[in-house]
Amino acid sequence: MKEIGRLAMRAEGNLWVGYYAKPDTMEGALFLGSIQLRFVEDKDRKNAFMGLMREAVGDILQEATGERPSWTEPHRAPESERSGSA
């Protein structure tokens, strides 16, 4: 299956932010949501927020293609996109 977009998670200041982005760039990325980093220091909370962001991307892709994406292990963002330790 062709990759048409991705979930991009980034630390921005004291927030952890989710975006739907093109496979190779953050240009034009769609803001999905954010949460204060202190609330996702716990692994279970972090996974819950990631799950919500994945569902949002799933909705976007299902609307566009008629199919929900399958999720694999996260890929490390390119060095130019890394902004923190979230």
At 83 the pLDDT is 56
Report residue 3's pLDDT band, with 50, 70 and 90 as the boundaries.
confident
Beta strand ranges found along 1-86 (DSSP E): 6-12, 15-22, 25-36
- Model confidence over 49-75: pLDDT tens digits? 999 999 999 999 899 889 888 877 666
Question: Which residues is 6 bridged to in the sheet?
Answer: 21
Sheet containing strand 6-12, strands side by side: 6-12, 15-22, 25-36
At 82 the pLDDT is 58
Alpha-carbon span 58 to 71, nearest angstrom: 10
pTM (global) more than 0.85:
no
